[in-house]
Structure formats: C-alpha cells, structure tokens
C-alpha cells in the first residue's frame, strides 16, 4: 500500500509509559516513511512536556518532524483535520467518534496496537482482523511481544546510536551527568522502580567485592531509598549518600534521550515500565524489571510469561549458564512478587545477580541480539503496511 499519512492516537493516564512508547514509534516511523505525514493525537501534554523539553502548551505544534495535536483540537476541527491512510489506536484508547466516522469512508487501515506481552496466546491474535462496519477500512490487532510470531518490540535507530555512544564513551557520559562523583573502578548501576524495599540489595552490595555507584532515578525510587536509609543512617544527607561500599545519588529528572545515554553507560540497570524495560534488554547488560502492579497479581502472569520467552530464546548456553539463567529468572519473579506497592521486605536474593554478573552479561548479550535480529516491531509493521 502506498501511504501518504499516518495518525497515532494515545490516551495518557498517569505515567510516562504510554507517551514514551508512542513518541518513540512515531519518531521511528517518520525515519522509515520519510515523506509521509505523521501526526500524534494526545489527550494531554504534561507527561510529553516532561520527557521532551521542546513540547509547549499548544493544541497544535510540530516536534522533531512530527505534528502533535491534542484530542480537543481534533474534536473542534474534525472537518478540516481530516483522516490518515493508516491510523494507530495505541493501547485501546478512545479514538474520537468524529474521526472514526470519517475514517470509515476515507482511511484504509486501522491498527489496534496493544500492550507488550510475553504471553503465548498473543501470537494467535497478532494481525487478526477485528470486524467493523466499513467496506474500505480494515481494523487489525497488532500484538507486541518477545517472539518471532508476535509483533516484536520497538527498536529505534536513535536509541541504538545512543547505546553505542554510551558504551564507547562510558566515563565521559557519566561525568557529564554526575561530575561530583568519583566513578573510577566502581560498578555503575541505575535504579528506576515503583515503591520498593531495597534492603536486600543494599545488604548484598554493602560488602560486595567492588565498590558500587547507584544512580537513583524517579520520585518513587528515591522516596523508597530515603525511607530505608533513614533507618540505617543517623545523619542528614543530601543528594549523595554513602553506605558501606555503596555510593548513591538522587538523580535529577532526565528526558527520554538523556535517560538512555545514562543507562547505556552504566554496567547494569534496574528498570520499570515496558518501554524502558525493552531499552534495558537491548543494552546487552544485566537488568532487573519492576513490572507495573496489577490487581490479583495479574502482573505475575506477565513476568512469568516473559521469563519463559527469555529462557527459550537464548541459545548456545553452557550447562552452568543455563542454571544461572534459571536462577536469574527466579530472581526476576521474586523481585516482582507483591500484592501492592509497598516498602515491605521481599524475598529476592541479589547474590544471584552480582555473584554471576559475568555470566548474566553473556546471557543478556545473546538475548539482545535475538530481539534485534528477530523482533523489530517497526520493521515488522513497515513490512505489513507495505504489503497490505
């Protein structure tokens, strides 16, 4: 299909995940479909402003070659706004009725982009048609996932460039963001999480064979560490804290690109949210994923589905590495086993992570290569649209 225009709709609830994904995929689609008009339609701008400093309080604006409009603008200008050849409904959001009414007569393809999942059943639904009352417009399910039969994960060229830069300029990048910290010979890690008790992590790292520098990111992470450290330390502390062989720093809020530079330069990353999680995997470095909490522990089904795909996708491991991968997957599950986000101490044993750091690095490198070669969502989507 020859495409002249693509619209992407996103309803932001209360976090940066949805806009992070939509902004990333929009930028990459613009690079692939160079002469195609790409428009993002957002219900609000606060989170987008936080991750991109160029975003203004305006209902219509152009950013990085993309047109960004508010849902309010679309409703108020339905007749002149028009529709696109292809439009993407991100994560089951509500596309305005005014738009859908016109799209059923003028658009060709409606893509229902779902949340990322490792669950096996998504492969059966990927690219299946959802019936609608239109003779010309077709609606399909697009299911992102961690297997070749799924829609894949979002891999963008901008991130890959930052990954290589951070990897090859580790010290320069870290000094740029943390000039007052001595990083020489230290193991560098980032922590970005929901509310969480990190007692187990601190106790393992306090006496670890190497000194560690932990970069604490996000309000919930920093608050979690503050609560724990106040019980361990009897003194006031600023942004930099020392505990045993650990140096910790409360980092300022970073844009999407700045965050990716820092995690690319770090040795390991504890990450939250789906979009950041995928970046963490693609870095070829040891990672931990704090998954979004769901009612009745539904998030545990997702984390277990991921660890199943993780295990079956990494090939060529020795017997010892296979055993370490199994223990690493158990740690990932224990790290997330919770009924609610709280500061209650968990059962996870981080010795698995740090005592097998070299082997886990090898495993993560192999897994990253699998995703890069077999599961590139944007390339898959481009191919599907071209062949439609």
HSE, CB side, 13 Å, CA atoms: give it for residue 305: 17
* pLDDT of residue 234 exceeding 60: no
Confidence of residue 84 (pLDDT cuts 50, 70, 90): very high
Tell me what percent of the residues of the chain surpass a pLDDT of 70: 99
Please tell me the predicted confidence (pLDDT) of residue 15. 73
Q: What is the mean pLDDT of residues 220-224?
A: 96
Please tell me the predicted confidence (pLDDT) of residue 238. 77
pLDDT digits (tens, 9 = 90+) for 248-288: 999 999 988 999 999 999 999 999 988 899 999 999 999 99
More confident residue, 53 or 268: 268
DSSP 227-264: HHHHHH--S---SEEEETTEEEEEPPP--HHHHHHHHH
Listed range (227-241, 253-267, 296-310, 367-381) with the worst mean pLDDT: 227-241
- This prediction has a pTM of 0.90
Confidence of residue 361 (pLDDT cuts 50, 70, 90): very high
Please tell me the predicted confidence (pLDDT) of residue 104. 96
Distance, in Å, from the CA atom of 143 to the CA atom of 120, rounded to the nearest integer, reads 11
Confidence of residue 230 (pLDDT cuts 50, 70, 90): confident
Task: Using DSSP, state whether 208 is helix, strand or coil.
Answer: coil
Q: What is the mean pLDDT of residues 22-44?
A: 95
């Amino acid at each position: 299909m020859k495409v002249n225009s693509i619209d992407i709709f996103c309803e932001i609830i209360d976090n940066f995940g949805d806009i992070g994904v939509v902004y990333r995929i929009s930028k990459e689609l613009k690079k692939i479909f160079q002469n195609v008009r790409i428009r993002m339609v957002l219900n609000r701008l606060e989170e987008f402003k936080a991750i991109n400093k160029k975003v203004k309080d305006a209902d219509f604006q152009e950013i990085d070659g993309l047109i960004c409009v508010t849902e309010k603008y679309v409703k108020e200008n339905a007749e002149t706004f028009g529709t696109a050849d292809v439009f993407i409904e991100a994560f089951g959001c509500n596309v305005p009725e005014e738009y859908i009414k016109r799209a059923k007569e003028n658009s060709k393809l409606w893509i229902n982009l779902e949340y990322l999942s490792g669950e096996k059943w998504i492969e059966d639904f990927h690219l299946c048609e959802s019936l609608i009352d239109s003779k010309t417009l077709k609606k399909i399910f697009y299911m992102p996932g961690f297997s070749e039969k799924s829609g894949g994960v979002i891999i963008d060229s901008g991130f890959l460039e930052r990954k290589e830069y951070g990897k090859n300029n580790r010290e320069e990048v870290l000094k740029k963001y943390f000039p007052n910290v001595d990083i020489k010979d230290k193991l560098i890690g980032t922590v970005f999480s929901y509310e969480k008790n990190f007692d187990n992590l601190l106790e393992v790292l306090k006496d670890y064979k190497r000194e560690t520098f932990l970069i604490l990111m996000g309000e919930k992470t920093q608050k979690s560490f503050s609560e724990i450290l106040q019980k361990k330390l009897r003194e006031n502390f600023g942004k930099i804290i020392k505990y045993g062989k650990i140096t910790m720093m409360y980092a300022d809020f970073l844009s999407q690109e700045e965050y990716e530079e820092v995690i690319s330069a770090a040795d390991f990353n504890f990450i939250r949210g789906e979009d950041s999680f995928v970046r963490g995997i693609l870095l070829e470095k040891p990672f931990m994923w704090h998954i979004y909490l769901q009612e009745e522990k539904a998030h545990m089904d997702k984390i277990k589905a991921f660890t199943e795909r993780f295990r079956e996708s990494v090939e060529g491991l020795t017997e010892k590495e296979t055993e370490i991968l199994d223990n690493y997957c158990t740690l990932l599950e224990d790290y997330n086993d919770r009924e609610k986000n709280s500061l209650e101490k968990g059962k996870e044993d981080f010795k698995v992570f740090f005592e097998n750091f070299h082997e886990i690095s090898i495993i993560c490198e192999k897994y990253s290569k699998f995703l890069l070669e077999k599961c590139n969502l944007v390339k898959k989507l481009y191919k599907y649209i071209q062949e439609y």
